Amino acid sequence: MRIPVILLTGFLGAGKTSLLSRLLRDPRFSDTAVIINEFGEVGLDHLLVEHLPDEPVVEMTSGCLCCTVRGDVRRALLMLHHRSEAGELPLFSRLIIETTGLADPAPVVHTLLADPRVAARFALAGVVTIVDAVNGQATLAAHREAARQVAIADRLLITKTDLDAGRDALPALCADLARRAPGATIADTRAPDFDLRQAVDGLTGFDAGTRPADVVAWLNAEAYAQNAHQAAAHEHDHSHGHGHDHAHHHDHAHDVNRHSDDIRAFCLTLDQPLDPAAFAFALELLAAHQGPDLLRVKGLVAITDYPDHPVVIHMVQHLIEPPVRLDAWPGADRRSRLVFITRNIDPARLAAFFADWTGAGADAELISRLT
């Protein structure tokens, strides 16, 4: 029997990882394998997400899932299947693929539906898209990646309605979502009657024919891009007489237009523990002045009061989540690290801003420019 795959998508900071963590803690989902794609090479999720010890989890940190999907996700799927059949990993009866927040789901969907080796082993049960009630509508209007993730969904799961701003925005957001994805069901993950099991396991199979016309067009464009890519790779092998994998380079050539070219990811490293008040003020200032361009910030921060207990920071646009203090550092590196995904923000200027406000030496390392 083919293993059902649930594609979990949603814009940066919508709440994908939180929902996945909630699901993986639930014993009803103990037979679940997960493929997580982190954006950028210096991601922090592997330090921040708790995995159960023998859970089959594959983390792909090679960049943006939609840009590397044709090689990496295919390899990850086949490897998981092979290792589980060989008894090296527990058998699993469902697979969840979490995309990055900037991923266009179409290449993943196409790979699952059209790659013969993948499709013989896995069946796409459906696409679940997470939408943040607080930022959702503004994000949908500003980012075509977010609009595509919604349009292709079978199920739209809304988060952050426990916050006043989220609750207030809910009716207008639902109306917008119903227009953008007329065939999708919508559920509020914070409603008392929300059923996670039904949300994930109730999907009966992805049917491209029920999607809006533009979604069908994207999927067709994807099929065309993949065929063209395979033909180019084939020709290349013949002309050079060797078969190493050039998929990555070709894929980026196809993907030039997938992301806005002003979006960048970088990691800021601060070399001394920070004064908590100065750091909090710097974050608030940043959120107030650059909110819509701070697409996502995740960090592990050493503070002067408790240097052995790092603080986890999450920001999504102007929303600063309450910081969480950890019992211990999750690895040997005890420097503060903040991963930013931003629009139109110069990493060097941001490093200088933090250095000024906190007095710590700050370095910015560019992870990726999404062009």
Binding site for ligand GTP (CB under 6 A): 10, 12-18, 101, 159-160, 162-163, 189-190, 296, 314, 316, 321
Q: Which is nearer to ligand GTP, 360 or 370 (CB)?
A: 370
Q: What minimum distance in Å lies between the beta carbon of 187 and ligand GTP?
A: 12
Residue 37 phi/psi, 5-degree rounding, is -110, 125
Q: What minimum distance in Å lies between the beta carbon of 166 and ligand GTP?
A: 7
Q: What minimum distance in Å lies between the beta carbon of 175 and ligand GTP?
A: 20
Q: Which is nearer to ligand GTP, 83 or 190 (CB)?
A: 190
Q: What minimum distance in Å lies between the beta carbon of 213 and ligand GTP?
A: 28
Q: Which is nearer to ligand GTP, 3 or 345 (CB)?
A: 345
Write down the residue that tokens 């266009």 correspond to.
104
Q: What minimum distance in Å lies between the beta carbon of 14 and ligand GTP?
A: 4
Residues in Cβ contact with 308 at an 8 Å cutoff, skipping those fewer than 6 apart: 328, 329
As a residue count, the chain comes to: 371
Closest CA to 128 of 110, 152, 112, 162: 152
Q: Which is nearer to ligand GTP, 52 or 324 (CB)?
A: 324
First to last CA, the chain: 40
Q: What minimum distance in Å lies between the beta carbon of 162 and ligand GTP?
A: 5
Q: Which is nearer to ligand GTP, 100 or 226 (CB)?
A: 100
Cα(328)–Cα(159) distance, rounded to whole angstroms? 29
Q: What minimum distance in Å lies between the beta carbon of 105 and ligand GTP?
A: 13
3-state SS assignment for residue 83: helix
Q: Which class for 279: exposed (0-12), middle (13-18), buried (19 or more C-beta within 10 A)?
A: buried
Q: What minimum distance in Å lies between the beta carbon of 177 and ligand GTP?
A: 16
Q: What angle do CA 334, 348, 267 make, to 5 degrees?
A: 35
Q: Which is nearer to ligand GTP, 77 or 316 (CB)?
A: 316
Q: Which is nearer to ligand GTP, 14 or 294 (CB)?
A: 14
Q: Which is nearer to ligand GTP, 13 or 273 (CB)?
A: 13
Question: What does the DSSP 8-state code read for residue 296?
Answer: E
Question: What does the DSSP 8-state code read for residue 29?
Answer: G
The torsion region of residue 263 among left (phi > 0), alpha (psi -120 to 50) and beta comes to beta
Closest CA to 268 of 369, 366, 368: 366
Residues in Cβ contact with 221 at an 8 Å cutoff, skipping those fewer than 6 apart: 106
Q: What minimum distance in Å lies between the beta carbon of 45 and ligand GTP?
A: 7
Cα(51)–Cα(29) distance, rounded to whole angstroms? 13
Q: Which is nearer to ligand GTP, 105 or 115 (CB)?
A: 105
Cα(325)–Cα(319) distance, rounded to whole angstroms? 18
